[in-house]
Structure 1
Amino acid sequence: MTPFEWNFPTKLTYGPGRISEVGEIAKAYGKKAMVATYAKGSPLDPVIDTVEASLLEAGLEVVVFTGIEPNPRAQTIDKAIEMFKAEECDLVIALGGGSVIDGSKYISATAFSGGNAWDYVVLGDRVPREYTGAFPIISIPTISAAGSECNAGGVITNAETNEKSFSRSPYRIPKVAIVDPEVLASVPMRLTQDSCVDIFSHLIEHYLSSDAESEFADRQTEGMILCLKENFAKIIENLDDLEVRGQLALCSIFGWSGIQALGRMGCIPMHSIEMPLSGIYDLPHGRGMVVVIPAYLEHMADAKPHRWAKLARRCFDVTEQDDLKAAKLLSVKVTEWLKETGAYLTLSDVGIPDDKFEQMADDVVRMFPGPIPQSTPGARPVTKDDIVAIYELCK
């Protein structure tokens, strides 16, 4: 195992109806809250009203910022930062999916530290600005996908350049996550399918990319994948099943918390390859991962066949004893699973043409450079040619 440090500072408040407690929880962290959320006019509107009422009843002042996009724009977040400072807020309530929660992390930390949101992201050889602190965040997830409600990461898009990137900072880890399955039950079928695949993508990224061995991390990851598969099958039969929504929420939270990678932290090549899809075409991130995962698993099977084979055997019932043959079966089994759940999609299914593959591959290796020129980190250095080939397999 490689050396590591890990903690889990976010307090989890779980249970049906617990969103009504946000006011009592929030008053321990601030006096004037910005509720950051999506645009009004969606099924989430009554939830926004519930949150605002709870905060007011607890004695907090409230400012509501609506309009954070599914792929949050840095320009939108900068407007929220301006409002946060002008209104002299001291707390952010992030009400939404990973996009809203990620955007809220940039609001809280950039308002505290100065500058613009895009100053802090990873971008090629540029040295990103460093945060000096952040205002407290309380996260209320409306979908289980990225686990953003309990971690330090955050992804945003520059609408002027069509670039999508990320940053991490322990300052931005939410103080409390209110996980209410009644809120999560409002997620429709297609978004539920996309979100389950997004959880899967987080679970397998480090598992397949690290050179280190950690049986503890492997067993944690495999257990969550099996739990995800079992509950994915259940939730598509009954979207209102609160118990299943809760199980998926835990897979989401702990699948990207670091506990699934203790002793073998790796890298996130599939996410890097997906980012141009949502950066250029505004494809929802989870849907982009649906498209990318099977192709990546097929193209990269020979990079670390013993790791591909281990996952195939333990989570997808592969019995083949030859590692390379078993590794090549992983993409086959994952594709079968995605089709069984109705989640499987290709680039043509989501309306993305094949005329920008070279440009998208250039963006990946420029923004997230790997150990050799014209590559990004992966199970082995993923070259520009590899990325183009993966996009071709996505068609």
Structure 2
Amino acid sequence: MHNFNWNFPTELVYGEGRIKELGSIAKQYGKKAMIATYARGGFLDPIIDMVEASLTEAGVEFSTFTGIEPNPKAHTIDKAIDQFKAEGCDLVIALGGGSVIDGSKYIAATGFSGGKAWDYVVLGDRKPREYTGAFPIISIPTISASGSECNAGGVLTNAETGEKSFSRSPYRYPKVALLDPALLTSVPQAITKDCCLDIFSHLIEHYLSSHAESEFADRMTEAMILTLMENFDKVLEDPKNLEVRGQLALCSIFGWSGLQGLGRMGCIPMHSIEMPLSGIYDLPHGRGMIVVMPPYLELMADVLPARWAKLARRCFGVVEADDAVAAKLLSVKVVEWFKRTNSFLTLSDVNIPADQFERMADDVVRMFPGAEPNTTAGPRPVTKEEIVKIYEMCK
């Protein structure tokens, strides 16, 4: 195993109806909150009303910022930061999915530390600005996907350049994640599918990218994958089932918390390869991961065949004894699962043209460079040519 440090500083408040406790919780962390959320006019409107009512009842002042996009845009977050400062807020309440919660982390930390949100992201050889602190964050997830409600990471998109990147800071852990499964039942089925497979991508990313061995991390990850797969079927049958929504929410949270990588934390090549899809074309991140996972799993199976084979056997019922053969079967089984749940997608399905593959691959190796020229980090360096090949296999 690798050496590691890990903590989980976010208080997780779970249960049906606990959204009503928001006001009393917020009162512990600030006097005036900014509610950061999506634009009004959608399925979240009644939940926004509930949040505002709870704060009002508790005597907590608030200012509501609506309009954070999927794949949150840096210029939008900068507007929110300006409003946060102008209104004298001292607490951010993130209400929404991973995009809103990621954006809220930039609001809280950039509002405290100064500058613009994009100053802090990883971008090739550029040295990002470092945070000096952050205002408190309370996250209220309305979608189970990224696990952002309990971690310190966050993505951001530069709409002017089409670049999408990320940053991470211990200052940005939410103080509290208020997880009310009743809020998750309003998510449409298509979005639920995308979100479940986003969780899957998080669970397998470190599992398949590290040369280290950690049986504890493997077993934790495998258990979450099996729980996810079982409850994915159930949520498609009964989207209003709170028990199922709760199980998926826990897979989301702990699937990107570091717990799934203890002792063998790896890199995230699949996510790097997906970034141009959502950065340039504004494709929802979960949909992008559905597109890139199968070809990545197929093309890279010979890099760490023992780990590919282990996952195929333990989670997908593969019984082949030869690691090299079993490793190749992982992508086959994943595609079968995607198709059985009507989740499988190609680049053609999401209208991304083949004439942009070179540009997309250039962005990956420029923004997330590997140890060798024209590569991105992976279980071994993934070359630009291989990235183009993965996009070609996605058509």
TM-score norm. by structure 1 comes to 1.00
**AA of the residue aligned to 2:147:** G
Note the C-alpha offset of 1:356.
0.4
**Separation in 2, partners of 1:340, 1:357:** 28
Note the C-alpha offset of 1:300.
0.6
Note the C-alpha offset of 1:350.
1.1
**Separation in 2, partners of 1:291, 1:36:** 30
Residue of structure 1 in register with 2:103 after alignment: 103
Note the C-alpha offset of 1:342.
1.2
**AA of the residue aligned to 1:233:** D
**Separation in 2, partners of 1:280, 1:290:** 17
Task: Spell out, residue by residue over 1:246-283, the C-alpha distance to the aligned partner (whole angstroms, 9 max, x if none).
Answer: 00000000000001100000000000000000001100
Residue of structure 2 in register with 1:82 after alignment: 82
Residue of structure 1 in register with 2:117 after alignment: 117
**Separation in 1, partners of 2:91, 2:57:** 16
**AA of the residue aligned to 2:121:** V
**Separation in 2, partners of 1:323, 1:351:** 36
Is 1:28–2:32 an aligned residue pair? no
**AA of the residue aligned to 2:140:** I
**Separation in 2, partners of 1:130, 1:152:** 14
Residue of structure 1 in register with 2:72 after alignment: 72
* SS of structure 1 residue aligned to 2:78: helix
Residue of structure 2 in register with 1:49 after alignment: 49
**Separation in 2, partners of 1:333, 1:350:** 22
Of stretches 161-170 and 51-60 in structure 1, the one that deviates more from structure 2 is 51-60
Residue of structure 1 in register with 2:389 after alignment: 389
**AA of the residue aligned to 2:351:** G
**Separation in 2, partners of 1:306, 1:378:** 16
Note the C-alpha offset of 1:287.
0.5
Residue of structure 1 in register with 2:235 after alignment: 235
Alignment of 1:1-395 (within 5 A): 1-395=1-395
Note the C-alpha offset of 1:184.
0.4
Task: Spell out, residue by residue over 1:190-217, the C-alpha distance to the aligned partner (whole angstroms, 9 max, x if none).
Answer: 1000000000000000000001100000
Task: Spell out, residue by residue over 1:133-184, the C-alpha distance to the aligned partner (whole angstroms, 9 max, x if none).
Answer: 0000000000000000000000010001000000000100000001111100
**Separation in 1, partners of 2:293, 2:346:** 10
Task: Spell out, residue by residue over 1:274-304, the C-alpha distance to the aligned partner (whole angstroms, 9 max, x if none).
Answer: 0000001100000000101001001111111
Note the C-alpha offset of 1:309.
0.4
**AA of the residue aligned to 1:81:** I
* SS of structure 1 residue aligned to 2:247: helix
Unaligned 5+ runs, structure 1: none
Task: Spell out, residue by residue over 1:200-247, the C-alpha distance to the aligned partner (whole angstroms, 9 max, x if none).
Answer: 000000000001100000000000000000000111111111100000
Question: What percentage of aligned pairs have identical amino acids?
Answer: 77
Task: Spell out, residue by residue over 1:27-63, the C-alpha distance to the aligned partner (whole angstroms, 9 max, x if none).
Answer: 0000000000000101110100110111111111110
Task: Spell out, residue by residue over 1:313-347, the C-alpha distance to the aligned partner (whole angstroms, 9 max, x if none).
Answer: 00000011111110000000000001111111111
* SS of structure 1 residue aligned to 2:234: helix
**Separation in 1, partners of 2:167, 2:174:** 15
* SS of structure 1 residue aligned to 2:35: strand
**Separation in 1, partners of 2:213, 2:123:** 30
* SS of structure 2 residue aligned to 1:8: coil
**Separation in 1, partners of 2:200, 2:220:** 13
Note the C-alpha offset of 1:379.
1.5
Note the C-alpha offset of 1:352.
1.2
TM-score norm. by structure 2 comes to 1.00
Unaligned 5+ runs, structure 2: none
**AA of the residue aligned to 1:270:** M
**Separation in 1, partners of 2:290, 2:374:** 25
**Separation in 1, partners of 2:343, 2:243:** 21
Structure 1 outlier segments of 4+, above 4 Å: none
